[in-house]
Chain A
Amino acid sequence: MSPLFLPSPVAVGERFVTQLQNGELLTDASASVYRIAAGFLLATVMAVPIGILIGTSTRIEAALEPLIDFVRYMPVVAFVPLTILWAGIDDGQKFLIIWMGTFFQQVLLIADAVRQTPRSLIDLGETLGLGNGQILTRIVLRSSAPRIWDALRITLGWAWTWLVVAELVAASSGLGYRITLGQRYFQTDTIITYVLILGVLGLVTDQFMRAWGRRMFRYERTSR
């Protein structure tokens, strides 16, 4: 088979070393990590309070959930041309795509996590004379925290996908941009190298989130 279609592991290894030495890999990776971090944080900061409100108030749920569910089913990819029109091709557009791809999913997952608080724990709070605000902070949030953390971990994985989609279409830096360049010059070894790096980065962040979660929610540890 022609190495153009599937480069040998040696060629991929060599490409990895070259990219590492000329500094491009680090620049690309840091540009992408920055975009993920900013876009994902923006989505999370907005989704956590809104998800909690939807999960705890039936009135807010009735008002917002159908809307969010509707937007959630719109394909984010189809918004790429529009976001370029709105936000250009700089970091802002990448944040926007990551935000659109994660925020709506996060809200629904967090609302669901909050709703799973056992009724008996809320009854307990009431019999101990706690007010609604105290029940929310002392019981509901603490009880749903592991599920909220899981929702964030899963959506962070999706954020990586949306980032690469955005960078493939229009960018002047980032891991996805380098893949597009590789395509343009038939550098399939570059493409494979970067796809593998994306896989590793995704795996590392996921493992990190898992380990952190296990530490925070040690009390839950069963057979997981």
Chain B
Amino acid sequence: MSVDSREASVVRTAETAVPKVSIRDLSKSFGDVHALEGVSLDLFANEFVSVVGTSGCGKSTLLSIIAGLTEQDAGSVTVDGVPVTGPGRDRGVVFQGFTLLPWLTAQQNVQFALQDEPLSRAERASTAQQFLALVGLAGFENAFPRELSGGMQQRVAIARSLSYKPQILLMDEPFGALDALTRREMQTLLTRVWEQHKLTVLMITHDIEEAIITSDRVLVMSRRPGRIRADLTVPLARPRLAAMSAEPQFRALYSSILELVHEPAA
């Protein structure tokens, strides 16, 4: 089983030698603060990549630029070779805060992303229900956000960003506001969802365990100015299980990432 999935991931990389998202020499300053300097990275199709770094290292700025919400000072972001000039439905975003619309129910929040798609009312409803079920929220379709816990609200947000089938999913510390137990649950859920519905994912996190358990590759960012300091492939087989965090491979990778994160800037 584990051998099979490892082979599958090798095939996937070989098929897609052309990157899905390509970032070259990205720089961004806010006044005197150099948030990013010369950041380059590639995301390949259906790859799950995490960016880890200490808070304030510019990793959220990086995601915001890829999403098209922030403009870079220099450098380029291309998706399938086309430069990004603003936000677009090819890139879904899951924000750190729970960005549900409080006046809509869980199902209406998902449908909100679908209202301009050429779908009938019934198709919109069934798509929304299907994605809520995918994140384990069947039965909560009619709940308003204030009636849901933080973890459930973030699951609705994930269902919403998957529902319109973007090719790329960008997540900015999606579980940062959740308690440790809920966070573990959400990581398992996200991994399971991604293993079923492959898409290219870039996740920003400061949680090294989270990065390892979910990702194919982990990129380590240095402190200001933000640069990519290391690009590490996660050797663990899929499906990933929570118990894997006890494996020696996991522990070794964890220690080397921890060291890279805290190493002072050269």
Contacts and interface: CB of A to CB of B under 8 A. Distances in A.
Nearest to B116: A129
B144 A121 contact: no
A126 B99 contact: no
Contacts of A124: 93, 95, 99
Given A120-B95, A120-B99, A219-B103, 5 more contacts: A127-B67, A128-B113, A142-B103, A143-B102, A219-B102
Interface in B61-118: 67-69, 86-89, 91-93, 95, 97, 99, 101-104, 112-113, 116
Contact of B99 (A121, A129, A217, A221): A121
Given A128-B113, A129-B87, A129-B116, A220 B146 contact: yes
A69 interface: no
Residue of A120, A128, A139, A143 most packed against chain B (CB within 10 A)? A128
**B-side binding surface: helix, strand, loop or mixed?**
loop
Most chain B beta carbons < 10 A, residue from A118, A121, A143, A222: A121
B101 A126 contact: no
Contacts of A138: 112
B97 A120 contact: yes
A127 B87 contact: yes
Interface string A125-153: 01111000000001100110100000000
Given A142-B101, A219-B144, A127 B116 contact: no
Contact of B69 (A126, A129, A219): A126
SS class, residues of chain A in contact with chain B:
helix
Given A123-B69, A124-B95, A139-B101, A129 B88 contact: yes
B146 A123 contact: no
22 contacts: A118-B97, A118-B99, A120-B95, A121-B101, A123-B93, A124-B93, A124-B95, A126-B86, A127-B87, A127-B91, A127-B92, A128-B113, A129-B87, A139-B101, A142-B101, A143-B102, A217-B103, A219-B103, A219-B145, A220-B102, A220-B103, A222-B146
Given A142-B103, A219-B102, A219-B103, A127 B93 contact: yes
Contacts of A126: 68-69, 86-87
Interface string B207-251: 000000000000000000000000000000000000000000000
Interface in B98-149: 99, 101-104, 112-113, 116, 144-146
Nearest to B113: A128
A143 B100 CA distance: 11
